[in-house]
Structure 1
Amino acid sequence: MSRTLTGEVVHEIEVKRSRFIARAAPVANEDEARAFLERIGDPGATHNCWAFKAGDQYRFDDDGEPGGTAGMPILQAIEGQDFDRVMVVVTRYFGGTKLGTGGLARAYGASAAEALRSADSSPLVQKIRLRVSLPFDCINAAHQALETHTAEKLDETFDSNGVTLVVTLPTNHRQAFTNQLRDLTRGQARIARI
């Protein structure tokens, strides 16, 4: 199961007098990732290399380092530890000794990996959104099923046929929620994914 950070984290390593400072934060999308980069990137540093992953979206940048030596190793550190919705920026201050492409890739990847390894994280619970339509007399059954399956009611509308709920719940609870609600409403509930 994927996980994300519970807050920001910083980790620093030194390789042949070059300082690599990895900063990581939870992000929901690319806009948040870019805002984090703008906030913590140091224009006075030699390089601010980064990668982020948020669901199916991911991006990385070598910021002037040789291609494939910085952004990709950072992204591999994120994916290798099964993180999602995470941005990592590794800021390098050149120490006077060239590291070569292999040395750069190892340094960027190691600083990102160690920052993530030392960070507090929590599992990401994949959620699904459902529309539930049922008669008025079944509303209590719906609320009982919502509570049982840690579902959240996002919207509730009434019309002459009954009530329609829009709910979100953990994806792995969908089948059990559907079964319970259909049993409690004697098959009167109509449930559809939104």
Structure 2
Amino acid sequence: MPFTIASLVRFEEDIKKSRFEAIAVPVENEQAVKDFLEANKDLTTTHQCWAWKIGHQVRFNDDGEPSGTAGRPILATIEGNELTNVLVLVNRWYGGIKLGTGGLVRAYGGCAGQCLLLAEKIELIEKKKVEFQCQFNEWAIFQYELNSQNIEFEEQYGADGVQVNALLQVHQIEPLALKIQDVTRGREQLKVMEEPADD
């Protein structure tokens, strides 16, 4: 089961006079990554290295450190903790002593790892997009059902009824499908859209 982190966490340590600060944050999509990195640009740092993983997508950045010494070790700690939908940014303020490539890998990976140990892990619940149609007189029943389970939905009114798009947790799909068959006496079916939902 994939996990993400509940909220933003920070960890700081000094290694041979360089100060390292790791910030881990949950992210839903690439735009959230860009927004966070933009908001946390710090011109006082020597390097701002980061890595993120969202589903099967991964990216990392060494920000001027020798290739493979910063972004990749940060990503390795995210994957080692079996996390997804997470961005870890590690800021470094250079203190005058070179760490060497092995030292950098340990510093960036270690700082990111310590930061993630502080985070509360939560299960990432997979959601799927679904759609169904119903008649106007049936809509109140479904509206009540969706609201009572805190399901996100949008409805569109057409000439011949209501078209509903919703975002369901996997375990909610079958009960709703049965409810739709029951209420519409088998006239309508719940359609599960194939592409995974972004959020």
Q: TM-score, normalised by structure 2?
A: 0.82
| Structure 1 unpaired stretches of 5+ | none
8 Å Cα contact 1:50/1:90 also seen in 2: yes
One-letter amino acid matched to 1:92:
R
Contact 1:150–1:170 (Cα < 8 Å) also in 2: no
Alpha-carbon shift at residue 169 of structure 1 (Å): 1.0
Q: What is residue 10 of structure 2 aligned with on the other side?
A: 10
For residues 43 and 162 of structure 2, the distance between their equivalents in structure 1, rounded to whole angstroms, comes to: 56
CA change 1:117–1:135 in 2 (3 A) is same
Secondary structure of the residue aligned to 1:75 is helix
Check whether the contact 1:51–1:59 (CA below 8 A) recurs between aligned residues.
yes
Q: Structure 1 vs Structure 2: percent identity of aligned residues?
A: 39
| Correspondences of 1:161-176 after superposition (within 5 Å) | 162-176=161-175
Flag the 1:168–1:109 CA change in 2: closer, same or farther, 3 A.
same
Q: Please list, as runs of the form range in 1=range in 2, the aligned pairs for 1:141-180 lying within 5 A after superposition.
A: 141-143=141-143, 145-146=145-146, 150-160=150-160, 162-180=161-179
Aligned to 2:197: none
Question: What is the match of residue 39 of structure 1?
Answer: 39
Identify the residue that residue 191 of structure 2 maps to in structure 1.
Answer: 192
Cα deviation digits, residues 34-67 of structure 1 (max 9, x gap): 3322332332322111112223332111111111
Q: Aligned to 1:91, what secondary structure does the other structure show? A: strand
Question: Would you say the 8 A contact 2:155–2:162 is kept in 1?
Answer: no
The residue that corresponds to 1:130 in the other structure is: 130
Q: CA RMSD in A?
A: 2.4
CA deviations over 1:127-176 (Å, ceiling 9, x no partner): 1121111334433543455357543322242423x332222211232233
User: SS at the partner of 1:190?
Assistant: coil
Contact between 1:11 and 1:114, CA under 8 Å: does it hold in 2?
yes
Contact 2:154 2:166 in 1 (8 A): yes
Structure 1, 13-22 or 62-71: larger mean CA deviation: 13-22
- Residue equivalent to 1:94: 94
How many residues were matched structurally?
193
Distance 1:156 1:9, change over 3 A: same
Distance 1:28 1:138 in 2: 34
Q: Deviations over 1:104-149 (max 9, x none)?
A: 1121111112212212453322211211113344335434553575
CA contact (8 A) 2:53 2:78 kept: yes
Runs of 4+ in 1 over 4 A off after TM superposition: 147-150
Counterpart CA distance in 1 for 2:81 and 2:28 is 18
Q: Which residue matches 1:73?
A: 73
TM-score, structure 1 as length reference: 0.84
1:72 Cα deviation after fit: 0.7
